[in-house]
Amino acid sequence: MNPGSWIMRYPAVTTTIVVGLCGLVLQLSGNAATAAWLVGGYALLIAAWQAVAMVRNLRRGNFGLDVLAVTAITATVFVGDYWAAMIVALMVTSGAALEDYASARAHREVTALLERAPRFARRGDEHGQFREVPIFAVVIGDLLMVRPGEVVPVDGLLEQDAAAFDESSLTGEPLPVEHCVGDQILSGSVSQQRVAYLRATVSAEDSQYQQIINLVKAAAASKSPMVRLADRYAVPFTLVSLLIASAAWWLSGEPVRFAEVLVVATPCPLLIAAPVAFLAGMGRAAATGVIVKSGAVLETLARVRTIAFDKTGTITHGQPAVGMIQPADGVSADHLLRVAAAAESCSTHVLATTIVQAASHQQLSLPDATNVEETTAAGMAATIEDKLTAVGNAGHVAAITGHHPTTTAVPPGNIAIYVGNTDQYLGRILLTDQVRDNAKLTLGALHRLGVATVAMLTGDAATTANHIAGQLGIDDVRAGLLPADKVAAVSSLTERPVAMVGDGVNDAPVLAAADVGIAMGAKGATAASESADVVIMLDDLSRVATSIAVAQRTVRVALEAIWLGIAISVVLMLIAVTGLLPAILGATLQEVVDLVAIGMALRAARPGRSEKGLARQLRHSDRPELQRDCTEQSQPIS
C-alpha cells in the first residue's frame, strides 16, 4: 500500500501521528505548556470519539471494552501524564490498521485463492484459431486451450493428449496429478509442462473454482463469533481492571496510580487477536478444499459431539461396482461378464452401465446382441451367440430361459444380477455400493477428536445399513428413513452440537436442521451446498475430520491469545500498583502485549502437531493416483 492510500484509509492514525510530532516539536522548543494542551486536548477528543461509539454499542446491546481505553485516556490527562494519554490514543486509533494487517496475514491463503481466479479463456473458433475471451463468455461445448502455467478457466473434459495438472488450490495435494483423455478437469487446476485442450462441460459461474470463490467471499464477509466470545470476557476483565486501579489509588493515596494501572489494561488482545485467529483458521480450511461459511460455524464445529452421516455417496462412493462374479459350474467368470455386458450395453440403467464398464476394464470383447428387449424393473433379453439370453432379476431370467437361478442368499449390501440362456443358467454378478477406503480411518479419527457418537441416517434397508455399520463401528444406525424422518432423527439426537454430513439434494433439509450441516459438494449438489454450513469441495470423506481438527485448533489458539493478553495485562497492572511502572512506559508495553497476542493468534494459520499426526493417519488409497498410465490413443481435436 502506498503512503497516499494508507493516509486515506487510516486518517485517524495519520492525524494522531501528526499531532504527536507537533507536540514533540513544541516540547523540545521549550513550549511545554502548549504541547501539553495540544496533546492532552487531542487525547480527550479521541476519548470522546470512543465514548460516543461505546454508547452506540451499548444501545445495540453490545458491551465492549472501550470503557477501559476511554477511562485510561481521561485519567492520564487529568493526572498530567499527557504523553501516556497520547500513546493510548495512538493505540486506539491504530487498532483498525493493526487488525487489517493481521487479518491480511491470517487470510492470505484465501486472498491468493481469489487473486488466482481466471478472468479470461482461450476459446477455439470454427477456423481452429484460439482467441482470448472473457471467462463468462464460455458456454458448454466450447473447446478451450490452456497453456502451461495457466489456470483452467472452467470445468471440462480433457481432449487429445494426457496432461498433468497442479490441483493444490483445490485438494491441497502438492504434487502434479496426471490425467488421461476424457478425464474431468476442474477449474482452478494449473496446467503443467504442455498445452492442454478441454471441452467445457459447464459455464463459468457453475464451475468448481467459481463455487469455491463464491463461498469464500461469503465466509470472509461473515462476522466472527469471537466478538461475542470476547464480550463474555469483557465484563469481568473491565471490572477486575477498574477494581485493581481503584485499589491502587486507595492504597497509595495517589490518583496517578489509577491511571498507571488502566493504561496497561487496554483491550486489544480481546478485540483483535481472536478474530484474527478465526480468519486464519477459515483461510487454512479453504486452502484444503473445505469452505466454512462463517466464524460462528467454526466455533460450533469445534464443539461437535455427535456426527450423523448419510450413507449413499457419503460413507459409500454412491456408485455401484462389481463386487463379485459367481459363474455356474462349467462357466468362466470372463464369459459370464462378457455375455451380461453384451445385453446390458443396450440399456442406460446405472447398473447396466456398471457391468459394461467392468467388462471394458477387463478388456473383454463383447459378442453382438440382437433382438434386444428391456423390461422395466426386470432386466434385458437378447439373442447372443444364437441363443436367447436374459440378464436381470431371478424371476426374469427364469421366465425367459426356463432355467431357475441359484437360490443362495445375496450378501447384505449387494444386488444380484442373474444371467442365463436357453441352454443353461450362467451365473450371477453381485454389485455393491462400496464403502470408501478411508471411511473407517475417518470415523476413528472423529472419535479421537472428541466426537462421542457417530450415527448413520439412511433410506436403505436395515440389513444393508447394519452390515456397513458393523464394518465401520458406527454407534447409532437408523435405516429406512425419508428426508423428513432424517430431520426428526437429527432433532432427537441428545449429545449436541450435532453435525450432519450428506451429499445429495435430498439431504438439504437435514443439513439445514443440524447444528452444523456439512455437504460433500464435489459432485455439484447445489441445494445441499446452499443449505450447508461447511462445504467440502472434494470427494474425500476424511476432510470431515480435517475440518473439525482445524476448528478445534482455531478456537484453542484464539483462547490462548485471549488468555495470554489478559494474563500479561494483569501482571503489568499488579506491577503498576506498586508504582514501579510509569504510565508512559506501561502504555508502550501494552502495545507490545497487543503484538504478542496477535502473533499468537496467527499460529492458527499453520497446522499444529496433532493435526499433522491426523493427516498422516488419514492417508488413504481413496485419493486419485498422482501418476497414471494413460493408454488411450491420442485423439484429433474437432
Region class of 450: left (phi > 0), else alpha (psi between -120 and 50), else beta = left
Ranking 278-287, 377-386, 432-441 by mean pLDDT, the lowest is 278-287
Amino acid at 88: V
Predicted confidence at residue 316, as pLDDT, reads: 85
φ, ψ for residue 358, nearest 5 deg: -65, -40
Predicted confidence at residue 99, as pLDDT, reads: 62
Mean pLDDT for 126-137 is 86
Three-class secondary structure assignment of 457-516: ECCCCHHHHHHHHHHHCCCEEECCCCHHHHHHHHHHCCCCCEEEEECCHHHHHHHHHCCE
SS3 of residue 122 by DSSP: strand
φ, ψ for residue 537, nearest 5 deg: -80, 0
- Is it the case that residue 624 has pLDDT exceeding 60? no
pTM for the complete prediction?
0.72
d(CA 544, CA 503): 12
Max avg pLDDT among 32-46, 314-328, 413-427: 413-427
pLDDT tens-place string over residues 443-468: 999 999 999 999 999 877 788 888 88
Predicted confidence at residue 226, as pLDDT, reads: 46
Max avg pLDDT among 69-78, 256-265, 283-292, 352-361: 352-361
- Is it the case that residue 633 has pLDDT exceeding 60? no
Query: Does residue 369 or residue 162 have the better pLDDT?
Result: 369
Q: How far is CA 70 from the centre of its chain?
A: 40
Buried b (16+ CB within 10 A) or exposed e, 528-541: bbebbbbbbbbbbb
Cell of 472: 465401520
φ, ψ for residue 166, nearest 5 deg: -85, 115
The domains located in the chain, with CATH, are 3-104+222-279+552-606 (no CATH), 117-150+154-206 (2.70.150.10), 280-316+436-551 (3.40.50.1000), 318-434 (3.40.1110.10)
Contact between 214 and 291 (Cβ < 8 Å): no
d(CA 79, CA 202): 69
- From residue 506, alpha-carbon distances to 104, 312, 522 in Å are 38, 11, 16
d(CA 147, CA 192): 8
- Is it the case that residue 495 has pLDDT exceeding 60? yes
pLDDT tens-place string over residues 176-227: 778 888 888 888 888 887 888 999 988 887 777 777 676 666 655 554 444 4
Give the number of other CB atoms < 10 A from CB of residue 3. Answer: 8
- From residue 388, alpha-carbon distances to 344, 356, 429 in Å are 14, 19, 19
Ranking 119-123, 207-211, 482-486 by mean pLDDT, the lowest is 207-211
User: Residue 140: CB partners within 8 Å, gap ≥ 6?
Assistant: 200, 201, 202, 203
Task: Using pLDDT thresholds of 50, 70 and 90, give the confidence band for residue 637.
Answer: very low
Cell of 422: 436357453
Predicted confidence at residue 60, as pLDDT, reads: 65
Known catalytic residues are: 310
Mean pLDDT for 48-55 is 77
- Is it the case that residue 632 has pLDDT exceeding 50? no
